[in-house]
A and B are shown apart, each in its own frame.
Chain A
């Protein structure tokens, strides 16, 4: 009974915190739209905001609620507080929420796997010889080791039939699918830069991010997800383009592929090349100049060390009072 009550209380706290934080994020994220920062940073920030409610709720529940219940709740069999109707109802809500999230993820994965299997029937690896220049450039400029062998082993495929014109699909083993009509329509340079755009999505694991968003549904988050998706597209454009010729080639590829109507919609775990506001992306690419190129940021984790030390010290000092406070709060919640 003690364990069950502990689980119910923890789930209650989790679901309340998750809903409150989600509602706050759904309202407050627009304040970050006005930030003037590289699109890569904006995309990162929007994604962090999107998963913040889930991450913070899980972290707080496991760091404070579970230990406070374990340590401070009397275990004596004389004091039987009972489960309580509120923790029971809220616990069921939390389980339903988690179950719904799991179902959405599994369904999205299953649909993606089904479609990829179909689209890969009769598909050929993209011509390695014709794209050898692409491999070398991609490796050097993006720090990704897409050497010819790996390319041939199944990253990019020339698909036949009903696959969308160009998309990155899959989470665990992402693949770039290029339709026959795309290969026929785009020039060599346009195809090269369009593939670099998709590789940028692969590098930033955008399909995995989409799946994570799928796991934590909440009403009112669609606009935030749409803004993140647009920022991720612009960030991939930035990563792919290194000069004005590239920018014009990418804009041309976007316009050409926009005319191809996909026979089937792309699954959740996929990033299509023609996504977001095409006119905004083309306008941005045509206005490209040397100053637009964002240099890859050098990660300097040393400045995080003092912040981490201060945080850990603060947590050590305040942990016991925080546990007591959390316990009081949970008592009040379930009373």
Chain B
């Protein structure tokens, strides 16, 4: 799995091109597909041979499985998007931890990044809570204002 994912490379050197990513996403969305089925969807507008070469390359990179179906091949994804994402993250963390001369330094960067991310997330949640509170408050105020009006009308 790690081997399969290492082809994504790290940082600024992605080794899976945009078209390869597009084809892989299309196979994920269809579950399994032949080249003709990938083209029939209309999302991929390339020549048959280009798509065929691309899926073959994805197969050789270990991201797709294939079985013969008549004269063509039916391709199925070997990993789910979540599995690939998880392993990409693991691979990145491994590379990060192995990058520094002092072993604890990259870990501290990671903790720092996570703390910043957490703080940002909590700020967003706090904002949502405050907004809901304001909504509730204004709704209550409106109800209180409406009530005396209704009482006044009844008295009249």
Instruction: Enumerate chain A interface residues (CB-CB to B < 8 A).
Output: 244-245, 248, 251-252, 255, 258-259, 278-279, 282-283, 286
Contacts and interface: CB of A to CB of B under 8 A. Distances in A.
A245 B132 CA distance: 10
Contacts, number: 33
B105 interface: no
A255 B125 CA distance: 7
A279 B129 contact: no
Interface of B: 118-119, 121-122, 125-126, 128-129, 132-133, 136
B136 A255 contact: no
A286 B132 contact: yes
B125 A279 contact: yes
Given A258-B122, A259-B122, A279-B121, A251 B129 contact: yes
A38 B47 CA distance: 52
Contacts of A252: 126, 129, 133
B132 A248 contact: yes
A272 to B, nearest CB: 16
A244 B125 contact: no
Contacts of B119: 259
A255 B126 contact: yes
B125 A248 contact: no
A278 B126 CA distance: 12
A252 B122 CA distance: 10
B136 A245 contact: yes
A245 B122 CA distance: 20
Contacts of A245: 136
Nearest to A287: B132
Contacts of A258: 118, 122, 125
29 contacts: A245-B136, A248-B129, A248-B132, A248-B133, A248-B136, A251-B125, A251-B128, A251-B129, A252-B129, A252-B133, A255-B122, A255-B125, A255-B129, A258-B118, A258-B122, A258-B125, A259-B119, A259-B122, A278-B122, A278-B125, A279-B121, A279-B125, A282-B125, A282-B128, A282-B129, A283-B128, A286-B128, A286-B129, A286-B132
Contacts of B128: 251, 282-283, 286
A278 B136 CA distance: 22
B138 to A, nearest CB: 13
Most buried by A among B119, B129, B133: B129
A66 to B, nearest CB: 45
A259 to B, nearest CB: 6
